[in-house]
Structure 1
Amino acid sequence: MAKVFSYAEVSQHNTPESCWVILYGCVYDVTSFLPEHPGGIKAILNLAGQDATSEYDPIHPSNLLKESLKRGDVKKLGTLDASTVPSPTSPSNTSASPTPSKPNLQHLLNLDEIASTALQLLSPKAKAYYHSASDDLYSKTLNSTVYSRILLRPRIFLDCTTCTTATTFLGHKVHLPIFVSPAALARLGHPSGERGIAEACNTFNAMQIISHNASQSPEEIVRDMPESMVFGWQLYVQNDRKKSEAMLARIRHLKQVKFICLTLDAPVPGKREEDERFGNIGAGAPVPSGIQAAKGTAKVSETSASPTTTGVSSPPPKKSNDSTAGPGAGVGRSLFWGTAADLTWRTTLPWLAQHAPKLPIVLKGIQTHEDAYLASLHAPQVRAIILSNHGGRALDTAPPAIHTLLEIRKYCPEVFDRVEVWVDGGVRRGTDVVKALCLGARGVGVGRAALYGLAVGGSEGVERVLEILKAETETCMRLLGVKNVDELGMQHINARAVERDIYDGPDNLAKATLSIGRPKL
């Protein structure tokens, strides 16, 4: 018979030598797991001797606890006597703003309004993680603003009665040239999580790439979805390759997953200061006085649990001998714990061919024409590339996908014939989608937009995001005189203002090819 503990008994075990937590009404000893926790020792010790369910549940797949118990990392001790839990104390001054009511989705007319509404609804932790980007946010900002510098060229006296946004990805039919990019920890924004995003994508027959760091297991996300639906699974290769190989073995059994998306633009985490500040300070703790925001951003409130804007200066680094320091501050940095930084063309693609032999590979994070060219040499194993700077969350001042798209057109247009080219980052309008397609992209990914839609209205909120983008894309195509996405081309845009900003040096293709040895085509 399971032992029943009082809350007072559990609360005494709050040290690195004896660390207990309460999850879902049960008591667990996590002492031996402390050094292995991806979020670091401190993240668990902050909740030691307490009920950690509300912190644990939104960011961990449901099967993770069971797997930890099986490995012996975590030990179940018994159950909690709920009658012994102390009543929450109310602060003397309750001046907090009331929680915003759920909005009418049809009153939100564009993605910016959805994002603004979501940021009012999200918890401080979720807002800090979703909204954050690296350093001075230059790449994050340019991802969006670059589209406004490309002008459209409408044609007249053309029948625009019918219009379709249908296309294919890797030969699979979809109804939208828009897909959901891998975006981690969706349950931070809404309980339905990545499954809720999948349900919305199913409604629109749109493609979804499941994040390696999803808050639900891939099996949960695709369960009962039609086999014709197109999913990709994002892979961050782990230092412990056996963990990655075990996951690839699981993915191979999911018929809805049509490809592996190997993410390469973040072998190490970027410096996302908004997320890191929340991780360092913690929920409910005041921001230290005297902290000034970076140029171009608002000042940080001295009583806020997290900054309301990005770009604030970073706190002093942790000392390397701090026994409670984890692999880094913030949710984003914690997710990279254990991620391999030693991937190469020569070693990683053969390894993938061995462990995912029947699944096409999509390389995410291409940011130069040289790497796009090298990727194309590895066709047909590599079937597509995603031009992306990780949503501005890795290396700040890295180019937006549009710049890389123009580089490829200038230096190695044969890439478009060898692999499909997808783009990611900064898309806020259907006109953005059309401009990318005109430049040669087969599809356009949205990440934050899907998370914000989820936060606003669950699966229906994501449907609203896709509905808006689809309608705006169709309107733009009709006004250009185009009936389907295959008709879109350079004749429909004027990109001269952006072309002036792209790389203008030697093509480096011969040198790049020599560096890896030319693969067989």
Structure 2
Amino acid sequence: MFRLSDIQHHKSDSDCWIAIHGNVYDVTKFLGSHPGGKAIILQHAGTDATIAFENVHPAELLDEYLSSGQLLGRLEPTAQSATASEQSTDLDAPPMATILSIAEMERLALARLSPKAVTYYASATDDEITKLANGNIFKSILLRPRVFVDCTYCSLLTTMMGTRVGLPVFVSPAAMAKLAHPSGEAGIASACARFNALHIISKNASMSVSDIVRAGPDAVFAWQLYVLKDIKATERTLAQIKAIPQIKFIVLTLDAPFPGKREADERYKAAEVAAGAPPQVWGTNSTLTWEKTLTWLCKHTDLPIVLKGIQTHEDAYLAAQFPAVKGIILSNHGGRALDTTTTPMQVLLEIRKYCPQVLGQLDVLIDGGIKRGTDVVKALALGAKAVGLGRAALYGLAVGGEEGVHRSLQILADETSTAMRLLGVGNVNDLGPHHVNAAALDPLLSGGPSGLGRRARL
């Protein structure tokens, strides 16, 4: 049994101890491989870092990254010891029914979140051009309503990868939800369960996958996969996911093989960490290729595979050549990876122009910039099966926990139903390109050689 005083002198590069969840670890050898860089560990070295750890990580992550040989023993309990959830308190939330838009929810959230959470959630790469363009592009697409249509009935039911869901809106993988609210991803899952909606669980969730799925018994779940440099660690995690029957498919994320330059986030980290701290160590494997990676992944999961981060119609076409791939998510990581790249809606229109057969071969989802039900309808009319919310779910969580996420989903569900009724459509599957006019975007589509004949690289 260790006392806190026993570990306080072990906080250097060559001798680093840390306590988490009542255990004392020697993390000296882990410093150089920590995905977030060694500076953040050294900042908490020689202390009980349980609260700092809980805010961003599930307990199971310790088993994934640390070996049993690094566990030194137990920490003697003190009166000051507490978990993040025990120390957190809810702020007074406004009545959820008074919040009428996703934009209003965002404004409320940004006023309530901690500086760390704001810079992490809201930041985007470089000049944030892509982040803004993701949403603005919807304004250039016009709706074409038909009249004399009985619009009494309206259903939002649809299917994704063969699984029936209650909404054509899903929650995209968004990391570290406990920065927004103590309920974390469990709050998001509970809200999704009330709609029978899809929740894609982030690889970097702040709670364990089993705890998240337990919180949403009527939700539909998928799990985001980042392939790490440590392939064996990724394979161990895939084995754990395989044992959770609620996970219906794997979402392999491809749009961030390296971190983008998110200046607001970097400024905060620079202020938080001592001057001269080493740069972040990027833990994602950057050697992924089509045939090699998909062949490897199929050996470790029987679940359908969805590729997230498709940003060209050529890659959408290539994805359809692999039988294990059942869907793609057109996404640029919310503008957090490469700035001035194409928006998901542009990619969707280019698929329609150059390889429309892909829309019949794969479930095509989009992610990024959704603020209104009319945005949802425009995406569905042009061939998307569903649209994803990332920041919007976190902002709802920040404002009202589970109820805030539920309200965000309800706002979009109501707005989508209203837009469909005014278009003269009673079922999401009846939406089609004749319901929109996207001609204003034609000059923004790729006009060069399509490159569809290029074979996937090994």
Report TM bin, short chain.
over 0.9
Within the alignment, does 1:34 sit opposite 2:25 as a pair?
no
Q: 1:355 to 1:66 in 2, by over 3 A?
A: closer
Q: In structure 2, how many angstroms separate the alpha carbons of the residues matched to 1:119 and 1:189?
A: 10
Report the CA distance between 1:30 and its aligned residue.
Answer: 3.5
Matched residue count: 451
1:151·1:495 contact (CA, 8 Å) conserved in 2?
A: yes
2:65·2:233 contact (CA, 8 Å) conserved in 1?
A: no
Give the 3-state SS of the residue equivalent to 1:472 in structure 2: helix
The aligned amino acid for 1:247 is: T
List structure 1 runs of 4+ shifted beyond 6 angstroms. none
Per the alignment, residue 443 of structure 2 pairs with 500
Residue number among 42, 46, 53 corresponding to 1:45 in the alignment: 42
The aligned amino acid for 1:213 is: N
Report the CA distance between 1:246 and its aligned residue.
Answer: 1.1
Give the 3-state SS of the residue equivalent to 1:161 in structure 2: coil
The aligned amino acid for 1:4 is: R
Q: In structure 2, how many angstroms separate the alpha carbons of the residues matched to 1:421 and 1:56?
A: 36
Within the alignment, does 1:240 sit opposite 2:230 as a pair?
yes
The aligned amino acid for 1:48 is: A
Report the CA distance between 1:158 and its aligned residue.
Answer: 1.2
Alignment of 1:92-491 (within 5 A): 101-223=92-214, 225-226=216-217, 229-282=219-272, 324-327=277-280, 337-356=282-301, 358-378=302-322, 380-491=323-434
Q: In structure 2, how many angstroms separate the alpha carbons of the residues matched to 1:70 and 1:472?
A: 50
The aligned amino acid for 1:382 is: V
2:4·2:48 contact (CA, 8 Å) conserved in 1?
A: no
Give the 3-state SS of the residue equivalent to 2:200 in structure 1: strand
Q: More displaced, 13-22 or 132-141?
A: 13-22
Give the 3-state SS of the residue equivalent to 1:72 in structure 2: helix
Q: Unpaired segments of 5 or more residues in structure 1?
A: 85-98, 286-317, 329-336
Per the alignment, residue 3 of structure 2 pairs with 4
Q: In structure 1, how many angstroms separate the alpha carbons of the residues matched to 2:95 and 2:80?
A: 39
Q: Percent identity?
A: 53
Give the 3-state SS of the residue equivalent to 1:482 in structure 2: coil
TM-score by length of 2: 0.93
Report the CA distance between 1:63 and its aligned residue.
Answer: 2.6
Report the CA distance between 1:54 and its aligned residue.
Answer: 2.9
Residue-by-residue CA offset, 1:447-471 (whole Å, 9 max, x unaligned): 1111111111111111011000000
Q: In structure 2, how many angstroms separate the alpha carbons of the residues matched to 1:365 and 1:5?
A: 45
Q: 1:399 to 1:81 in 2, by over 3 A?
A: same
The aligned amino acid for 2:33 is: E
The aligned amino acid for 2:300 is: H
Q: In structure 1, how many angstroms separate the alpha carbons of the residues matched to 2:167 and 2:248?
A: 17
2:392·2:408 contact (CA, 8 Å) conserved in 1?
A: yes
Q: More displaced, 343-352 or 134-143?
A: 343-352
Greater radius of gyration (CA): 1
Q: In structure 1, how many angstroms separate the alpha carbons of the residues matched to 2:2 and 2:204?
A: 34
Q: 1:455 to 1:225 in 2, by over 3 A?
A: closer
Report the CA distance between 1:124 and its aligned residue.
Answer: 1.2
Residue-by-residue CA offset, 1:127-173 (whole Å, 9 max, x unaligned): 11100110000000000000011111112121111101110111111
Report the CA distance between 1:48 and its aligned residue.
Answer: 2.6
Q: 1:5 to 1:51 in 2, by over 3 A?
A: closer
Report the CA distance between 1:28 and its aligned residue.
Answer: 4.8
